Amino acid sequence: MNKRIESTQNSLVKHWKKLVTSRKERDQTNEFLVEGFHLVEEALKHQDLVIQLLVREDIDIPAHWSAPIIEVTAAVAKEISETEQSQGIFAYCKQPQYDEKDQHQWKQLLLIDAVQDPGNIGTMIRTADAAGLDAVVLGKGCADPFNPKTVRSAQGSHFHIPVVRGELAPWMNRLQSNEISVIGTGLQEAVSLHALEARSNFALLVGNEGSGVQKDLLSQADQVVKIPLYGQAESLNVAVATGILLYTLRQQ
Q: What's the mean pLDDT when you consider all of the chain? A: 95
- Identify the three-state secondary structure at position 180: coil
Question: In whole angstroms, how far apart are CA 175 and each of 19, 109, 181?
Answer: 33, 10, 7
Name the CATH topology of 3-94: 60s Ribosomal Protein L30; Chain: A; (3.30.1330)
Q: Could you write out the DSSP letters of every residue in 108-162? A: EEEEE-S---HHHHHHHHHHHHHTT-SEEEE-TTPPPTTSHHHHHHHTTGGGTS-
Task: Please report which helix (H) or strand (E) contains residue 175, including its range.
Answer: helix 168-177
pLDDT digits (tens, 9 = 90+) for 110-141: 999 999 999 999 999 999 999 999 999 999 99
| Closest listed residue to residue 23, CA positions, set 145, 123, 119 | 145
| Tally of CA atoms within 13 A in the half-sphere of 94 that contains its CB | 9
Total residue count of the chain as it appears in this document: 252
Name the CATH topology of 100-250: Alpha/beta knot (3.40.1280)
Which residues in the chain are classed under CATH 3.40.1280.10? Answer: 100-250
Task: Give the per-residue pLDDT at 1.
Answer: 47
Q: How far apart are CA 125 and CA 119, in angstroms?
A: 10
pLDDT digits (tens, 9 = 90+) for 36-45: 999 999 999 9
Task: Give the per-residue pLDDT at 89.
Answer: 98
Q: Decide if pLDDT at 25 tops 80.
A: yes
Q: Decide if pLDDT at 252 tops 60.
A: no
Task: Work out the percent of the chain whose per-residue pLDDT is above 70.
Answer: 99
Q: Which amino acid is at 50?
A: V
Which residues in the chain are classed under CATH 3.30.1330.30? Answer: 3-94
Task: Give the per-residue pLDDT at 196.
Answer: 85
Average pLDDT over every residue of 173-186: 96
Q: Decide if pLDDT at 2 tops 80.
A: no
Of 28-32, 62-66, 158-162, 164-168, the least confident: 62-66
Q: Decide if pLDDT at 24 tops 60.
A: yes
Average pLDDT over every residue of 161-169: 97
Confidence bin at 199 (pLDDT 50/70/90): confident
Task: Give the per-residue pLDDT at 178.
Answer: 95
